[in-house]
A and B are shown apart, each in its own frame.
Chain A
Amino acid sequence: MILNMQPGLIALEYKRDIHTIEDLKSYYWEFFDATGYEHHLLRNEKVFKTVISNGIYSGIYAENDIYQLELNRRLMDMAWLYLECLENSDETVEPYLPQNPYMPKLHYQYESTYYYEQYSGVVRLHDENRPDPFRAEKDYKKVIARFKGEVRWLRPDEISHPHWLYEQLFNKRTYPQWLEVLDTWAEYTLIKRSICEKLDGGDVYDTFVFFQKLTEMAHLLYTGRCKMEDPD
């Protein structure tokens, strides 16, 4: 029975009846009561630095980094509850479609008989959906301009659809798998070796980016600026 279900393992201290997304407000409040927004972002960087390098930067306060990870765990809990609320509500939401932005969209006019590609009739489609190599940069500038540097990691489409970010989180790993990752991180905050001996460095960086994005999202949701209309 346990193996068949996909559980969200919520470790928030006070169990409350959550029916709508509005009910989550108190958890967001508690989160920013426990830690400041900017402080949390900076501390995440410190934890990331600690686990990925050969040093320990928390000094004698070994527990601090583990506490920081527990705070991030709270953000994951809230993400899960957010999705659960959406699922239970009658609202229709835009589903998130996982796309690979790096996949080249090429149109083959006919089978090439040439060894070198440049002699075949391959055409790159000039349509709106074509991945723009400068998109990330443009997105970044857009977000920076809009939030005056307060938000750095989120993309504009994630800001307008918070559940997209949250779904990406749990598409990447199930909840028990995330717990395992957090556990490994916690272990390496205590060891003077790099976490890269156990996990892929890129993956560790992605996890760090998730932490930052989750924090920013929580901040936007908490201050109620998330679905703000794009001023442009």
Chain B
Amino acid sequence: MTNSMQESKSKRVSVWLWDEDYPHSLNEEELRTPTLVLRDAFSQFSLADCQYLLWEWQHCHYRPFTFTFGEGLVTLFRFRKMLNKLLDVAWLTTRDVDDGHLFRVCKEKTTAHLFDHNYFIALKKEDLRDLRSKMQIMLSDGVGLQWWKNILYHWWGMGVDYSQLDDGGRTNPTDEIPQFMQLILMIEIQYVLTMSLDITKVENRFAAAAYLSREEGQHPFKTLMKIFSKWEYDMLKENLRKVHDFLDDGMEEGYLSMHNGLIHTQHKMIALGAKLAREDGAYFQRADIFTFTYEEVGCFWEHDHYMPFHHLSMSEYKDPLITLRKFDFAELNRKLHAYTAFLVERNRFELDDELLAFNELFQQLERLLETLYLFILQRLRIRN
């Protein structure tokens, strides 16, 4: 009673959330101990889950009701809620001196091993030396905490609300790729922080890897075959060329789904390749994985198809599996992210080295495409 009387006596203060930063997603308990949020967040979502959900969300948020992972929209709703909380915690930890201990616990030596078992999209090993400033830069990159929350609010509205759909004149989703990278960076930093608090990591619930859903990860060969039967080899090469041509043409506004869709598929193919390359010999002996009925196969190969293989030597041509194992898939994914980020920062001065590096990326991607195609052709068995 006395408590409530005191409360009613204290003067009312208004925080205008569109203009001022305030960690309004946290309740009182979480404000006192932000580590509660970290614990809770990473016991619900593994790192790969976070990466996958955010990546899918960013690339699909203009296509409502395509959220097929988890329980659909509810999963996304919860994920967004969790992200809001993580943003608040990031803001608190970089701001309050009291919570600096979180960063003190997290030493470079004790957390470096995380890099052996996890794939990080944005965080680099060098960053471990000063996570705090990295986080500060990330938060101040926008106009502050509220700016980031507004982005999530906007993405949510774009993905869910039918009335928000537009033809691309109003928004350009490709502009949001750098924001996606920054959010991923924040999640990864907080994951490292959480793991240094002696919290055991949980299993993936939604993702097989950062770019694959659980279902896709369970049947990588089938998924790959679906991709090739949807577009066919020629078409995929053509698509890859289109992605490369963004360098000259830029990302035109007005084609909402095209740009992100093309890049989205490239990431998926790299991830599927990585998944297959990691499997051992026994996996490739299993006939059930590679045998399909004629109807399942779809049409991705015709006898009169012209199939140029520019990048493969004779030995590579003969054994695509060995070729597949030689790729550095994680690096390919990261480079592709860097490429998309480069495309939307058009005002930046272009260095020749960068352009050359991108050419190398595309050579690798084309090589991968050829390898995967050959791999499917060689392994696929049709059941009569």
Tell me the A residues contacting B by CB distance below 8 Å: 2-3, 5-13, 15, 60-63, 66-67, 80-81, 83-84, 87, 167, 171, 174, 176-177, 179-180, 183, 186-187, 190-191
Of A2, A81, A174, A187, the residue contacting B78 (CB under 8 A) is: A187
Please name 7 pairs of A and B residues whose Cβ atoms are closer than 8 Å in the assembled complex, sorted by A: A5-B10, A6-B7, A8-B13, A63-B162, A80-B14, A81-B14, A191-B74
Among residues 235 to 253 in chain B, which have CB atoms less than 8 Å away from a CB atom of chain A?
none
Q: Are A8 and B12 in contact (CB under 8 A)?
A: yes
A186 vs B74: C-alpha distance when bound (angstroms): 10
Majority SS of interface residues in chain B? Answer: mixed
Q: Are A63 and B22 in contact (CB under 8 A)?
A: no
Among residues 4 to 36 in chain B, which have CB atoms less than 8 Å away from a CB atom of chain A?
4, 7-8, 10-19, 22-28, 31-32
Q: Are A8 and B77 in contact (CB under 8 A)?
A: no
Q: B209 to chain A: which residues have CB within 8 Å? A: none
Of A9, A66, A187, the residue contacting B15 (CB under 8 A) is: A9
Given contacts A6-B13, A9-B22, 11 further A-B contacts (CB under 8 A): A2-B22, A3-B31, A7-B15, A7-B22, A8-B15, A66-B160, A87-B11, A177-B27, A179-B25, A190-B74, A190-B77
Q: Are A6 and B10 in contact (CB under 8 A)?
A: yes
4 shortest A-B CB distances, which residue pairs? A63-B161, A63-B160, A84-B12, A8-B14
Q: B78 to chain A: which residues have CB within 8 Å? A: 187
A174 vs B28: C-alpha distance when bound (angstroms): 11
Asked if B65 is at the interface (CB within 8 A of a chain A CB), the reply is yes
Asked if B157 is at the interface (CB within 8 A of a chain A CB), the reply is yes
Q: Are A176 and B15 in contact (CB under 8 A)?
A: no
Report the minimal beta-carbon distance from B252 to chain A, rounded to whole angstroms: 28
Asked if B262 is at the interface (CB within 8 A of a chain A CB), the reply is no
Asked if B318 is at the interface (CB within 8 A of a chain A CB), the reply is no
Q: B380 to chain A: which residues have CB within 8 Å? A: none
Interface residues on B, range: 20 to 34
A80 vs B160: C-alpha distance when bound (angstroms): 29
Q: Are A186 and B77 in contact (CB under 8 A)?
A: yes
A174 vs B7: C-alpha distance when bound (angstroms): 10
A180 vs B29: C-alpha distance when bound (angstroms): 13
A12 vs B161: C-alpha distance when bound (angstroms): 20
Q: Are B16 and A187 in contact (CB under 8 A)?
A: no
A221 vs B380: C-alpha distance when bound (angstroms): 72
Given known A7-B15, A63-B161, contact A187–B31 (CB-CB < 8 A):
no
Nearest neighbor of B73 in chain A, beta-carbon distance:
A190
Q: Are A87 and B16 in contact (CB under 8 A)?
A: no
Asked if B81 is at the interface (CB within 8 A of a chain A CB), the reply is yes
Report the minimal beta-carbon distance from B317 to chain A, rounded to whole angstroms: 49
Report the minimal beta-carbon distance from A195 to chain B, rounded to whole angstroms: 13
Q: Are A176 and B12 in contact (CB under 8 A)?
A: no
Given known A6-B13, A15-B18, contact A183–B162 (CB-CB < 8 A):
no
A11 vs B14: C-alpha distance when bound (angstroms): 10
Q: Are B31 and A80 in contact (CB under 8 A)?
A: no
A67 vs B161: C-alpha distance when bound (angstroms): 9
Q: B18 to chain A: which residues have CB within 8 Å? A: 11-13, 15
A81 vs B27: C-alpha distance when bound (angstroms): 22
Tell me the B residues contacting A by CB distance below 8 Å: 4, 7-8, 10-19, 22-28, 31-32, 65, 71, 73-74, 77-78, 81, 157, 160-163
Of A2, A11, A62, A174, the residue contacting B31 (CB under 8 A) is: A2
Of A3, A15, A180, A186, the residue contacting B19 (CB under 8 A) is: A15
Q: Are B17 and A9 in contact (CB under 8 A)?
A: yes
A187 vs B32: C-alpha distance when bound (angstroms): 25
Q: Are B22 and A12 in contact (CB under 8 A)?
A: no
Of A7, A15, A187, the residue contacting B13 (CB under 8 A) is: A7
Report the minimal beta-carbon distance from A8 to chain B, rounded to whole angstroms: 5
A98 vs B32: C-alpha distance when bound (angstroms): 30
Q: Are B14 and A187 in contact (CB under 8 A)?
A: no
Q: Are A171 and B4 in contact (CB under 8 A)?
A: yes
Report the minimal beta-carbon distance from B214 to chain A, rounded to whole angstroms: 21
Given known A8-B14, A10-B15, A84-B12, contact A3–B32 (CB-CB < 8 A):
yes
Nearest neighbor of B81 in chain A, beta-carbon distance:
A183
Q: Are A62 and B160 in contact (CB under 8 A)?
A: yes
A6 vs B31: C-alpha distance when bound (angstroms): 13
Nearest neighbor of B159 in chain A, beta-carbon distance:
A63
Report the minimal beta-carbon distance from A41 to chain B, rounded to whole angstroms: 22
Nearest neighbor of A96 in chain B, beta-carbon distance:
B8
A73 vs B8: C-alpha distance when bound (angstroms): 21
Given known A9-B22, A183-B81, A187-B77, contact A80–B15 (CB-CB < 8 A):
no
Q: Are B23 and A2 in contact (CB under 8 A)?
A: yes
Q: A183 to chain B: which residues have CB within 8 Å? A: 81
Q: B23 to chain A: which residues have CB within 8 Å? A: 2
Given known A60-B65, A63-B162, contact A10–B157 (CB-CB < 8 A):
no
Most buried by B among A2, A3, A8, A61: A2
Q: Are A63 and B157 in contact (CB under 8 A)?
A: yes
A23 vs B115: C-alpha distance when bound (angstroms): 56
Nearest neighbor of B162 in chain A, beta-carbon distance:
A61
Report the minimal beta-carbon distance from B148 to chain A, rounded to whole angstroms: 15
Q: Are A5 and B13 in contact (CB under 8 A)?
A: yes
A180 vs B74: C-alpha distance when bound (angstroms): 16
